[in-house]
Amino acid sequence: MDTQIGSAFSRSGRKHAAACALALALVVSEFAFLLLHVSQSITFSAMVLSVPLFAYFAGWDDATLGLHLRPRQGWLYWGVAAVVIGLLTLLAVSAWALFLWIRGSELAAPQVFGAYRDFWPFLLSTCVLAPILEEVLCRLAVCAPAKRLIGPWPAIALSGIVFASLHFWTGAANPANVVAGFFFAWAYLKSETLAVPVALHALGNLCVGIFGLVVLWAGW
């Protein structure tokens, strides 16, 4: 895959090694924060504050980390891609639900939140804080240095595995979370901007929130 993500790390092996070490420290810290139930605002701040460090390690080359807003292919391309990714993710969820149904498991609509008033806190947490926090960690911190070290497709695999593992760790794992992390990593490298996976992540969680409202309204 032809991408500028991670490219500037080739200029300094020492800074690339430092970026890889920082990425590992952030991943370990995030798992520890989740285990200790540290506030999301604290973990969010830690991830955001790590961005200047990665920028320094990348020689202040924004293309290496995707720290710009315009994707390489333009936003229209990614609008269409969002629909395709959403359908593929829905297909994965449907396949999992069919598998459970064949096994005889009782299927029920997931309870996203308990009351209508919970929608706005859900929106802040999952459509603003979580997309930025998790995409900075799994894409900027993990994927960019890994792409230079092991290549684009192994970096996508590693980034997706870290993303899925975080959700398994919190007990929030489902087929959508497992599949989406790989799509987000691919989108990050292909678009060459962190804005695309953040937007896709936020949009996906917004759809989950709207589904939660429908479940409440329908009384499922």
**Res. 2: pLDDT tops 90:** no
Q: What is the pLDDT of residues 79-105, one digit of tens each?
A: 999 999 999 888 888 888 888 888 887
**Res. 194: pLDDT tops 70:** yes
Q: Give dist(CA 125, CA 41) in Å, integer.
A: 9
Task: Tell me the average pLDDT across 153-172.
Answer: 91
Token pair, residue 8, equals: 């500037």
- Reported as a pLDDT band with limits 50, 70 and 90, residue 134 is very high
How far is C-alpha 49 from the geometric centre of its chain's CA atoms? 18
Establish how many alpha carbons lie within 13 A of residue 43's alpha carbon, considering only the half-sphere containing its beta carbon: 26
User: Whose structure tokens read 């460090």?
Assistant: 53
Which pLDDT score is estimated for 109? 67
Which pLDDT score is estimated for 163? 95
Of 111, 134, 160, 117, give the one whose Cα is nearest residue 48: 134
Q: What is the number of residues in the chain? A: 220
Which pLDDT score is estimated for 170? 80
**Res. 1: pLDDT tops 90:** no
For 163-185, b/e burial (b = at least 16 CB within 10 A) is bbbbbeeeeeebbbbbbbbbbbb
**Identity of residue 162:** V
Q: Give dist(CA 213, CA 166) in Å, integer.
A: 25
- Percent of the chain beyond pLDDT 70? 99
- The CA distances from residue 58 to 62, 106, 150, in Å, are 8, 50, 17
Token pair, residue 38, equals: 């540290």
197: helix, strand or coil: helix
**Identity of residue 174:** N
Surface-to-core class of residue 49, CB atoms within 10 Å of its CB (0-12 exposed, 13-18 middle, 19+ buried): exposed
Give the global pTM: 0.94
